[in-house]
Structure 1
Amino acid sequence: MGRLRVVTLLVLALGALVGPAKASAQDPAGLARNILPSGQYGMPLAPADDQAILYDGLTPLFDNVTPADLITYFKSEALGPGTDGPLIEDDVPFAGVRILRDKFNVPHVYSETYEGGVLAAGWIAAKDRGLLLQQARYNGRAAIIDAPGLSAIELIAGLQDFRPSAQTEAVTAKQTQALKDAGKEGKAVLRDIDTFVKGINAYLEESGSTNAPWTRNDVYAVNAVKNQFLGVGGGDEARRTRFLAGLQQRLGARKGKKVFNDLRQFKNPRSITSVDGKFPYGRIPKKPSGNVIIDPDSFETTYSAPATPPQVAEPFNASNVLMVDKSHSTSGRPIMVGGPQIGYFFPGLVYEIDMHAPGLNWRGATSAPFPGYVLIGRGEDFATTLTSAGGDVIDQYAETLCGGSDTMYRYKGRCRSMENFDAGTLNGDPYSFLTTVHGPVAGYATVNGRWVAISEKRSSRNKDVLDLLFNRRLSNGQVDSAKSFFKAAAKTPQTFNSFYIDAKQIAAFTSGRLPIRPKSVDPGLLTNGNGKFEWRGFLPAKRHPQGIGAEDGTIVNWNNGLARGFGAADSEWGRNGSVARNDMLTYNLKRLRNGAGKWSPATITSAMNAGATQDIRAIDTVPLLARLLQGSPAPSPMAQQMLDLLVDWRAAGGNRLDLNEDGDIDHPGAAIMDEAFPKIAQNAMAPILQPQLEELDSLFNIFDQPPGGQYSGWYQYMDRDLRALLSKKRLPDEFNIAYCGKGKIGPCRDSIWVAIQAAGERLTADQGSPDPTTWRSDATAERIDFSPLPLISMAYTNRPSGIQQVIWFKK
């Protein structure tokens, strides 16, 4: 492992290499703080939990974060260690390279050459994330080949063992050609990958590891994990088409399609967005001749895996950012508070590096697939973060079977045989699947009683690694403005909302290799796979949602659609709602700005931290319920008191905090909402959807209950439906069909009161008291635990978990 020695800041300042003290003195940031709750360490031994403790300490402050708290509960993100000494030096076998660790174990790299910086990044990856690297390198191949039924992140978190076949290795290696085809930049990335791999293998050799040396394919595989986990959208057309078939069978073709289009919220003139302007993408054709409607209840998945590992990590639609421009900042410079929510893993999926080498000057979160590049963090005079965009980059096709076989299909007039893909083994058992020209076969269904195969096509397949073109530009000085940032972000095929801040501008861009579909294809339904309805190219960068600044001076995003006109993917029915989690952030920003309408880093952080423990139903749904039920007789004094307590809960902040640490959420409103909301939502939608409520819940959850991220929820449906019911004129975002009470206010009110009354009776029985003021929800059930290895248990919070930055620049 090498010799370690303590190094003083004075000695470093006098050293031959650029010293941390000098780097900090030149830092143009006015404030640069960050926190990575998973920390820098690879094993759960003290002080591995140092950053998690700080992260957890911010939660109870709610909306009262002070400037001093930013120093206490975040650590430095200065270029250089700042005040986070004393420093310890790693012995490394690379000439002209020094790695200096601060008190949080963050490595500060100082190299005389570009290559030395990349070598050091590989060394750090192997040293700080050895367990993660070994788990991800093979399991990640499942993401590259789109193995049906397997999630690479679940394999990793569940400590499963996928072993790739020669066929899988050959497909993985295609990423090399994708880089070569990208020209000089792609070839430069390839050289960096080779150097990075040398750094990893140097550490493996020095530490006496028995693990096989790393290769390019290992880097490609870990990059594909990021793509599958966070960088795709779509690919759920079969289940959605099956749901439509059921609606049309019950309600008729016309009404069934209207209900389907309501619930999918493809586009919405009042959707919650982050940038100004419209960016049209996708359309619903009147006559979708390029689609196939399968028979109700006919879709079945067919996975060859003998045993699918338990689901231990949900895909996360959970990252947020709050940015204000210089005109609305107390410093006169733009401010950003933001980061990705990627779950709570230990060892962490990301780790931190402060990198200083010729051509590389950055600090922030990085990970194993980034060869000396920053993932999320800062350069010398700008910072960046991202949220998952969920763009529609995966389509499912209905393949017409032929030749009297389940493994033959018709494409462009020919009857073809499916190919068998031998993927390797999962936990020692063989794993294989069938493929068509479109991709892996995910299942079978029937159309008018005849079998069809369901295959999947992903636009970024065999191109995942091109994502590194973006990160290379972020790291090597090519990004120096919002416009150059847009050009860099357009390089990645993965679908993210990327955000930029410097001393003058705030900006955002939605990336992804977004297919242009034939006008006869509804993007939310199965496409006919006969070859006549293939993609017609990809959306050019200038038509991607993007913006510099905003009319109201803010860019705020919590995985909502970035701009209007941009159609939601079939898997993203909550992306374009008229209400969304974003409302908590904007609501808090509005009430926390100063008398001049401006914000400081502390007040923006307060808005984020309040939203992290608020319940979106308290902020958006309670006022709507109060309006609906106003003046109507409650079925009992208890039911009326329950409504009054919900209103009081919202007035008190609508949070789910347990400040007295007795194990219960402090306000009874949380208990009332948790018990009542599922039935309220079901009763509101039941007049039209009663037989299919459970199926709808499987497509778009009634509510993503904490400790979930509150991303999805029928509170969106209720908002549009009940506002229309209470309005005297037609609203721009009104649904095609009235749901609650079938559009009659009396029956609607009655159904909501019935749900509230029933919840009160259950709470009385469960909690042993008829007094609603004594009812409490269990706060311990919402606590956050790390996986697959334990770290600490933290109070519920809904905030960035990969890295969170609080930053602004003086120049």
Structure 2
Amino acid sequence: MPRRPRILAALSAAAVVGSLLAAPVSAADPVPVPEPAPDYCRKQCHHVLPPGQNGNATFADLVAHLLLGTRPAHSDDQLAKYDRLATRYPELTIGIIQEFFNDNSFGVRPDDVERIYRPREDVTIVRDRTAGIPHIYGTTRSGTTFGAGYATAENKLFLMDVMRRAGRGEVTPFAGGAPANRELEQRFFAASPYTEQELQQQIDAVARLGERGAQALTDAQSYVDGINAYIEQAHRGRFFPGEYVATGHVDPITNEGRIEPFRLTDLVVLASLVGAQFGGGGGNEVANAIARMALHERFGPERGEQVWHAFRAENDPEAITTVHDGRTFEYGTAPANPQGVVLPDPGSVSPQQVVFDPTGSAAEPAEPDTQPESVNPRPATDDPVESLRGMFDDGVVPTGMGQPGGMSNALVVSKAHTDSGHPVAVFGPQTGYFSPQLLTLQELQGPGISAKGASFAGLSFYTLLGRGPDYAWSATTAAQDIIDTYAVELCEPDGQPATKNSNHYRFRGECLPMQTVERRNAWQPNLGDDTPAGSYRLVSFRTRYGPVTHRATVGGRPVAFTTARATFLHEVDSIIGFQKFNDPAAITSATDFQRAAHDINYTFNWFYVDADDTAYFNSGANVLRQPVVDPSMPIASDPAYEWQGWNPATNTATYVPFREHPQSINQDYYISWNNKQAPGTAGDKLEKSAVQRGDLLDGRVAEHIAAGGTFTRVTLTRAMAEAGVTDLRAERVLPDLLRLIDTQPVDDPRTAALVGELRAWLADGGRRVETEPGSREYAHASAIELMDAWWPLLVRGEFEPSLGAPAYQALTDVMQINESPSGWQNGEPGLHVGQGHQGSAFQFGWYGQVSKDIRGVLGEPVPGGFGEPLCGGGDAATCRRMLLDTLAQAAATPAEQTYPGDADCAAGDQWCADAILQTKIGGISQNKISWQNRPTYQQVVEFPAHR
């Protein structure tokens, strides 16, 4: 059949089955709406998750979206609510809070019921009209988790399918060999290169974790059964996601093809993907070592070490901390005289090769990483196939998705400082912006389960972040160091001299072969991929100390650097903690919550609130290291430097006990924006220094309380929202820069005018907000552009002359100098490295380092500073001249260079460069929204009563 009539026939078939889209298996008799579960929030809990709950679109939906711009119901109905807070937060009141958030009460009002059905006799699912959220009521526990699997597949099946393949390093055989697909599968494969046997072993290990472990395994199996029940019904009824047609897995006419059922091991893969993205810390030791060595080479050991410590900010006395009650929690810091540090020979480090035997498109040179000057959409066509062909040209999974990210943020105020006398919280995870969203919303009510909130799609048999009957909880990424780098000596089994390419290593006196884990990936062009056919092998080389990441020489002898991760082979151990969060019988107090959080081995900051109490706990598999070990540097692979109690066969060790984890109950307030957890607790990078984005939250809350003020849900939300549109560099660093500039009059009138623009912006709050809602133009636009162009120039001008080019470059490899809303800028204006349009900004950057050095130039005492300032060689006049020269250079930088165009924005479009884009994982795109630095999913909570 010719292609055009064939597609028209397919569209006709899609229209015929359209009536099936909302008709899963249901009982013959009308299904009554279940009674709401006990709810002590009394309409004072709210939440929002853009762009919308529904992430599935049929083939007909996709064609309609591409040709007509329509979207399936509930795929974008939370986007505008989320967007409008950025400009309208000053007018927020309790009376209009529903314009920005949805009601997060238990149950569904009778007038808000959109659909009610029973995919199995022991579970009822009620979809609300407001947001399409599934409220799942099980008469049995199995029915509850079965319903969760069924409802999640209804909303996010294709997303879940892509993610389980990404976690295995097998995206390209499923969705084609686009560069973005290859990048993602390589990154996650390198982080968690598991065999299928190891995935199953982790499942078996959960079953041995007592009664709760056995229950968790049963819950997970029922959940998988629910997913597969939906797959079977959707395929048979032809209401499955249309991306399976677009990627060539199902024929639109004959319905031939296959959507592979889910297995328990897929859940382990998804857990490892989430853990790698959000729940780890450390592993940067090779980059640290190179930077430290470069500083020693430049300054000598004593001065070089002083400069390194200032940059490292391991325990910066000026850094804000979540726990600020005077207690110290020591973890991850370097001893005074470390032993077992292994430094590679200069210039000898090379990354471990992952890709082997490329053929076809895999062997072709990569496309140049250029960005177009203007948007060039695919030409319009009336042929649905031609429209669908471009759907996944750039990959089914977006470039940059695997970049490490931060979960943020949290503001929690104790009852002593609220109007009502009950604690107030505004908190949520920042998981990036995708269409469909990685998170999914649900309410679960069944035996031993009563919770509502957000979970990662594919792991939603429990609510991961949300609320129970009379308590709520959330998390931010903590990133304390649970990943160490070991240097293993390479060897040859026949006794011949080893080389950097040798694949045997010494372990406790033996020359052992490295274990190899392989993926043989091949792809063919199909409807969803214009990339030519190709193939390659992905190979991970593993030692008892973990996967190999680099090879080098040390004293001329070849070594491999490995990553020993505390959660490796234990991706699903955290299931017990999440199970407790969902069980009201297990969570009856703040202490109960902290104990449950301790069962989670990922590095998260957990926050809790009920009608009386607030609490904080820092979870993670915090290994107990030998006292002589410096965890920020590569470590010799010797038993004397291994984790205490380490068993290489099971990757278990002795862990820091509960009482030594950073924690608190009923502190006056808590804030977290991926900042330092507590005095004494070291982070994995350099960002937890004197200036960190958590300052934007801490200052607003602390100053209000110090002035005798109290908080409501509205005022705390306003504090969060204002911080979320504020440029950290303007509020916290620009005052230092202006003080140095102001030490003398600015003689040049043009430069003086530039300084005046910056000063006026700062006086108006240093915010990046539209002139009015929907204007797509910033107030103080020229000052904002000036700062965006100036920052990379001033940082280079401040540090590179003193550090020297090699050390400066090495330090940027440890942490980029900037993280602006439009992307990372790491050198010159316009040199953007990373993924823009993702909202989260100012987490990483040399903000504290710049502030400390400039204050040192001004002659002020600077705790944890550089000693002798680096800018201008310590001369204030020279440093000031550099600031003015680079400011003038920034003013002359074209906007097209500061804001280079990309596939979504024309070059020079400032608002668009910053704008949040819900990056597609599938076929439904979304409108851009204004930049705001805020959680993806967010709760606003105040419980007036409890059980």
- Structure 1 and Structure 2 fold alike (TM over 0.5): yes
Query: CA, structure 1 residues 270+78, in 2 after alignment: closer, same or farther (shift >3 Å)?
Result: same
Measure, in 2, the Cα distance between the counterparts of 1:84 and 1:707: 42
Measure, in 2, the Cα distance between the counterparts of 1:707 and 1:796: 9
Measure, in 1, the Cα distance between the counterparts of 2:111 and 2:800: 58
- 1:579: which partner in 2? 691
- Give the share of equivalent positions with the same residue, in percent: 29
Residue pair 2:160, 2:458 contacting (<8 A) in 1 also: no
- 1:689: which partner in 2? 803
> How far off its partner does 1:557 sit?
0.7
Give the AA of the match of 1:458. Answer: R
Aligned residue pair count: 780
- Deviation string, structure 1 residues 768-798 (Cα, Å, up to 9, x no partner): xxxxxxxx97111111111224222111111
- 1:381: which partner in 2? 470
> How far off its partner does 1:82 sit?
4.5
- 2:935: which partner in 1? 800
Query: CA, structure 1 residues 164+482, in 2 after alignment: closer, same or farther (shift >3 Å)?
Result: closer
- Deviation string, structure 1 residues 738-782 (Cα, Å, up to 9, x no partner): 222333322222222222222234369989xxxxxxxx9711111
Measure, in 2, the Cα distance between the counterparts of 1:787 and 1:437: 38
> How far off its partner does 1:547 sit?
0.8
SS at match of 2:486: strand
- 2:288: which partner in 1? 240
> How far off its partner does 1:83 sit?
8.1
Measure, in 1, the Cα distance between the counterparts of 2:583 and 2:406: 29
SS at match of 1:279: coil
Match of 1:38 among 30, 33, 51: 51
Equivalent positions of 1:151-190 (< 5 A) are 168-190=195-217
- 1:147: which partner in 2? none
Give the AA of the match of 1:665. Answer: Y
> How far off its partner does 1:421 sit?
2.1
User: Comparing 315-324 with 627-636, which one deviates more in the overlay?
Assistant: 627-636
Query: CA, structure 1 residues 702+378, in 2 after alignment: closer, same or farther (shift >3 Å)?
Result: same
Measure, in 2, the Cα distance between the counterparts of 1:156 and 1:250: 35
Residue pair 1:242, 1:298 contacting (<8 A) in 2 also: no
- Deviation string, structure 1 residues 635-660 (Cα, Å, up to 9, x no partner): 51222222222121111121112234
Measure, in 2, the Cα distance between the counterparts of 1:588 and 1:286: 37
Give the AA of the match of 1:538. Answer: Y
Q: Structure 1 residue 435 and structure 2 residue 567: aligned?
A: no
SS at match of 2:120: coil
Give the AA of the match of 2:843. Answer: Y
> How far off its partner does 1:159 sit?
12
- 2:16: which partner in 1? none
- Deviation string, structure 1 residues 471-505 (Cα, Å, up to 9, x no partner): 10000121121111111011111110011010111
- 1:208: which partner in 2? 235
Please report the TM-score for the alignment, with normalisation by the length of structure 2. 0.78
Measure, in 1, the Cα distance between the counterparts of 2:154 and 2:185: 22
- 1:742: which partner in 2? 873
User: Comparing 322-331 with 94-103, which one deviates more in the overlay?
Assistant: 94-103
Measure, in 2, the Cα distance between the counterparts of 1:357 and 1:181: 24
- 1:713: which partner in 2? 845
Residue pair 1:141, 1:164 contacting (<8 A) in 2 also: no
Please report the TM-score for the alignment, with normalisation by the length of structure 1. 0.90
Match of 1:700 among 815, 822, 829: 815
Measure, in 2, the Cα distance between the counterparts of 1:513 and 1:225: 17
Give the AA of the match of 2:878. Answer: P
- Deviation string, structure 1 residues 525-555 (Cα, Å, up to 9, x no partner): 11112443111122112101111122xx211
Q: Structure 1 residue 459 and structure 2 residue 548: aligned?
A: no
Match of 2:856 among 695, 699, 724: 724
Match of 1:420 among 516, 519, 523: 516
Residue pair 2:287, 2:810 contacting (<8 A) in 1 also: no
Query: CA, structure 1 residues 278+751, in 2 after alignment: closer, same or farther (shift >3 Å)?
Result: same
Q: Structure 1 residue 113 and structure 2 residue 101: aligned?
A: no
Measure, in 1, the Cα distance between the counterparts of 2:542 and 2:190: 20
Measure, in 1, the Cα distance between the counterparts of 2:915 and 2:512: 53
- 2:254: which partner in 1? none
- 1:445: which partner in 2? 552
Give the AA of the match of 2:657. Answer: P
Query: CA, structure 1 residues 271+677, in 2 after alignment: closer, same or farther (shift >3 Å)?
Result: same
> How far off its partner does 1:192 sit?
1.0
CA RMSD of aligned residues (A): 3.0
Residue pair 1:100, 1:107 contacting (<8 A) in 2 also: yes
> How far off its partner does 1:56 sit?
1.0
Query: CA, structure 1 residues 713+384, in 2 after alignment: closer, same or farther (shift >3 Å)?
Result: same
Measure, in 2, the Cα distance between the counterparts of 1:73 and 1:84: 21
User: Comparing 422-431 with 133-142, which one deviates more in the overlay?
Assistant: 422-431
Equivalent positions of 1:1-12 (< 5 A) are 4=23
- 1:773: which partner in 2? none
Q: Structure 1 residue 513 and structure 2 residue 513: aligned?
A: no
Residue pair 2:123, 2:138 contacting (<8 A) in 1 also: yes
Match of 2:581 among 445, 453, 474: 474
Give the AA of the match of 2:53. Answer: Q
- 1:50: which partner in 2? 77
- 1:779: which partner in 2? 911
Equivalent positions of 1:76-475 (< 5 A) are 76-82=103-109, 85-142=112-169, 168-208=195-235, 210-275=258-323, 276=325, 277-305=327-355, 306=358, 311-313=399-401, 314-370=403-459, 372-403=461-492, 404-405=497-498, 406-425=502-521, 427=523, 428-475=535-582
Measure, in 2, the Cα distance between the counterparts of 1:219 and 1:416: 32
SS at match of 2:119: coil
Q: Which runs of 5 or more structure 1 residues have no equivalent in the other structure?
A: 144-149, 768-775
User: Comparing 407-416 with 458-467, which one deviates more in the overlay?
Assistant: 407-416
Q: Structure 1 residue 540 and structure 2 residue 657: aligned?
A: yes
SS at match of 2:593: helix
SS at match of 1:99: strand
- 1:612: which partner in 2? 724
- Deviation string, structure 1 residues 43-62 (Cα, Å, up to 9, x no partner): 36243110012111211124
Measure, in 2, the Cα distance between the counterparts of 1:64 and 1:154: 43
Q: Structure 1 residue 19 and structure 2 residue 27: aligned?
A: no
Give the AA of the match of 1:39. Answer: G
Give the AA of the match of 2:451. Answer: W
User: Comparing 553-562 with 740-749, which one deviates more in the overlay?
Assistant: 740-749
- 2:777: which partner in 1? 664
Query: CA, structure 1 residues 697+224, in 2 after alignment: closer, same or farther (shift >3 Å)?
Result: same
SS at match of 2:485: strand
SS at match of 1:565: coil
- Deviation string, structure 1 residues 617-637 (Cα, Å, up to 9, x no partner): 111011111222223132512
> How far off its partner does 1:75 sit?
0.5
SS at match of 2:484: strand
Q: Which runs of 5 or more structure 2 residues have no equivalent in the other structure?
A: 1-19, 58-70, 171-176, 237-257, 367-394, 524-534, 645-653, 824-840, 899-907
Residue pair 2:192, 2:568 contacting (<8 A) in 1 also: no
> How far off its partner does 1:165 sit?
13
Measure, in 2, the Cα distance between the counterparts of 1:3 and 1:765: 47
Residue pair 1:460, 1:493 contacting (<8 A) in 2 also: yes
Query: CA, structure 1 residues 233+131, in 2 after alignment: closer, same or farther (shift >3 Å)?
Result: same
Equivalent positions of 1:747-766 (< 5 A) are 747-762=878-893
Query: CA, structure 1 residues 80+748, in 2 after alignment: closer, same or farther (shift >3 Å)?
Result: same
- Deviation string, structure 1 residues 600-620 (Cα, Å, up to 9, x no partner): 111111111111111001110
User: Comparing 413-422 with 437-446, which one deviates more in the overlay?
Assistant: 413-422
Query: CA, structure 1 residues 524+136, in 2 after alignment: closer, same or farther (shift >3 Å)?
Result: same
Measure, in 2, the Cα distance between the counterparts of 1:122 and 1:263: 47
> How far off its partner does 1:352 sit?
0.8
Measure, in 2, the Cα distance between the counterparts of 1:490 and 1:165: 23
Equivalent positions of 1:640-655 (< 5 A) are 640-655=752-767
- Deviation string, structure 1 residues 273-301 (Cα, Å, up to 9, x no partner): 11232111133234332110112232111
Measure, in 1, the Cα distance between the counterparts of 2:123 and 2:117: 13
Measure, in 1, the Cα distance between the counterparts of 2:666 and 2:134: 34
Query: CA, structure 1 residues 159+509, in 2 after alignment: closer, same or farther (shift >3 Å)?
Result: same
> How far off its partner does 1:320 sit?
0.5
Measure, in 1, the Cα distance between the counterparts of 2:438 and 2:771: 30
Give the AA of the match of 1:237. Answer: E
User: Comparing 509-518 with 623-632, which one deviates more in the overlay?
Assistant: 623-632
